[in-house]
Amino acid sequence: MKKFNTTGVCVPELHYMVDITERLKKIRQMIEEGKYFTINRARQYGKTTTLTALEKYLSEDYTVVSLDFQGIDSSSFSGVTDFCRALARLFVDANEFRGVKIPKEFLEEFRGMSCSASGNISMDEVFRITMRWCREAEKPVVLLVDEVDSASGNQVFLDFLAQLRFLYISRAKYPNFKTFQSVVLAGVTDIRNLKRKLRPEEAGKFNSPWNIAADFDVEMSFSAEDIEGMLREYENDHHTGMDIREIAGMIFEYTEGYPFLVSRMCEYLDVKLSGTQRFPGKREAWTKEGVSEAARCVESESNTLFESMIGKLYDYPELESMIRRILFLGEDLPCNVLESAVGQGIMYGFVRNKNGKLVISNRIFETIFYDVFLTQKEMRNSEIWDASGREKQQFVHEGRLNMERILERYAEIYHDIYGDRDSAFTEAEGRKYFLLFLKPIINGTGNYYIEAETRNRERTDVIVDYLGKQYVIELKIWRGRAYNERGEQQLLDYLKYYHLTKGYMLSYNFNRNKKTGVRHIRLGDKELVEAVV
């Protein structure tokens, strides 16, 4: 029986997978046109699975040589000779273990080079063997190289790219020049803009020989329809009775089609949640409540992807600052990829371009970032965090959040702690402190996310999911009665969307004659509970 897979390469015969045939067709078209290009996508975005499928997809018409730079020991990147030996060894392994047909003459040259213990070997020697091989090969030769990030910080890698560039240009200049039909490099780093300090006295500068690479515009994230197709195959095997379109849509809303996150949520629903007290079987797990719980579980776990994300925030302070500005200040930052932090955020998959503006890539990443920022030591030691943690029990009754009491108590505590601060402080910090107050209450049981469409300097909508029940809270800065009424109408629209009868508002009001506290507003068949601080 097939399983969902989040470790290693996905295999169609063993794993439930999105159908990537159309993607493979588009990549093949680039290869047929003789393009050299890079598939640079964030970690665990399906690059290796795509290359593995591509190798099989091309095998009838091309000799496909698939190399993995993770198979080269890091010490081999220290010098040209060591790298060339390792590269030659990868070609030998491709013949012996992957079925790549390399003519005996050239195979023996590669083998001799890989075993040579003395003398210098140049990059030119390796590539002259490949040129002769390509000239005599029965089928055009396609070179696929995975995990190029393993080498991208080394001068020897620039030499490798320079040789590929020479082959590409020579092929265009000389009609009878034979070399690789196409070269595809896969990794996180966009090596077209490889930053490398070539000499100690130089400042770091952009200097990549990979400027011959074609743009790779093939969409590798999954659409809701892609996920629906995968779930349909699963449903044919397990007959859970799920609403396939609804469940696929919910998974997409949390993940924006990030391949690892999609598969991880499905893995939780299939294996980790099914059979628990709350979800006795698969029929109970594959529901709206199950999807929300799967998202919470994914957000709460420690895995290599999330650890890498957090590490990048510590490594790049400008990137961290940019993420904070989007999350807490609601800034509309332009998608200027030439700006260092923006380019890094897109390359690592943290942010994406939406109508020319930067947004966090998906809800799960957004929650991870919020959790990182809200649980940092200086924030955990804050008075408002401590107050929330001490009084946690009064906010939960019979498995339900008493959101009205949460808002009421937050308004009181906030006024006590921050009442003498000016409005500039509150606009920049107020919403952060509500989330800081909320997190200890729902931690471990519920989860929350921010509706990106409303996150700006004046309002934010927080959606809390606690044991299957949802709560919509609008956080806003008071801008007068007319603005307030528009906010009420927008909140009503959200209540209709989520099929709720009660919604909540938290208003930051800086008028001297403001009336603080909690009030109830009846609008048709809906009830709004507003807290004013």
pLDDT at 199: 42
Instruction: Encode 196-240 in three state secondary structure.
Output: ECCCCCCCCEECCCCCCCECCCCCCCCCHHHHHHHHHHHHHHHCC
Is the model's pTM score more than 0.85?
yes
Highest mean pLDDT among 19-28, 184-193, 522-531: 19-28
Predicted confidence (pLDDT) per residue in 404-437, tens digit: 999 999 999 888 887 766 655 555 577 788 888 9
In terms of phi and psi (left: phi > 0; alpha: psi -120 to 50; beta: otherwise), the region of 8 is: left
* pLDDT classification of 197: cutoffs 50, 70, 90: very low
Average pLDDT for 287-302: 95
| Cα dihedral value 130, 133, 139, 140, nearest 10 | 30
Q: Which fold has domain 21-206?
A: Rossmann fold (3.40.50)
Alpha helices in 242-303 (DSSP H): 244-255, 259-267, 282-285, 288-300
pLDDT in tens, 340-394: 999 999 999 999 999 999 999 999 999 999 989 888 766 666 788 888 888 888 9
How does the average pLDDT of the chain come out, rounded?
Answer: 88
Those residues whose C-beta lies under 8 Å from the C-beta of residue 290, and which sit 6 or more positions away, are: 269, 273, 279, 284
Note the pLDDT tens digit of each residue in 459-479: 678 889 998 888 999 888 776
Q: What's residue 266's pLDDT? A: 98
Give the whole-angstrom CA distance, residue 329 versus residue 338. 22
Name all contacts of 24-29 with Cβ < 8 Å and 24+ positions apart.
Answer: 24/50, 24/53, 24/54, 24/57, 26/218, 27/54, 27/184, 27/218, 28/54, 28/57, 28/58
Q: Where are the domains of the chain?
A: 21-206, 224-300, 379-532
As a whole-number percent, the residues of the chain with pLDDT over 70 amount to 90
Which pLDDT does position 433 carry in this prediction?
85
CA distances from 487 to 36, 483, 493, 506 (A): 51, 6, 10, 11
pLDDT surpasses 60 at 198: no
Q: Are strands 141-146 and 182-187 parallel, antiparallel or unpaired?
A: parallel
Structure confidence at residue 458 as a pLDDT band (50, 70, 90): low
How would residue 119 be classed by pLDDT, with cut points 50, 70 and 90? confident
* pLDDT of the residue at 409: 93
pLDDT of residue 203: 43
pLDDT score of 128 more than 60: yes
How far apart CA 431 and CA 408 sit, in angstroms, is: 15
- Give the chain's length: 533
pLDDT at residue 71 is higher than 90: no
Q: What is the pLDDT of residue 153?
A: 75
Asked whether residue 292 carries a pLDDT value surpassing 90, the answer given is yes
CA 424, chain centre distance (Å): 33
Q: What is the mean pLDDT of residues 527-532?
A: 90
pLDDT of 205 over the 50 cut? no
**Can you tell me which residue has the tokens 């009181």?**
412
Q: What is the mean pLDDT of residues 392-408?
A: 91
Q: How far apart are CA 189 and CA 154, in angstroms?
A: 13
pLDDT at residue 449 greater than cutoff 80 = yes
Q: 504: alpha, beta or left, given left = phi > 0 and alpha = psi -120 to 50? A: beta
pLDDT at 511: 72
The mean-pLDDT minimum among 58-62, 426-430, 497-501 falls in 426-430
The owner of tokens 């007959």 is 239
Q: For position 390, what pLDDT does the model report?
A: 87
Structure tokens at 374: 């809200």
Q: 65-76 burial, b if ≥16 CB within 10 A, otherwise e?
A: bbbbbeebeeeb
Torsion of CA 264, 269, 270, 273, to 10 degrees: 110
| pLDDT tens digits, 129-178 | 999 999 999 999 999 999 998 887 788 998 999 999 999 999 989 988 99
Q: In whole angstroms, what is the distance from residue 99 CA to residue 504 CA?
A: 63
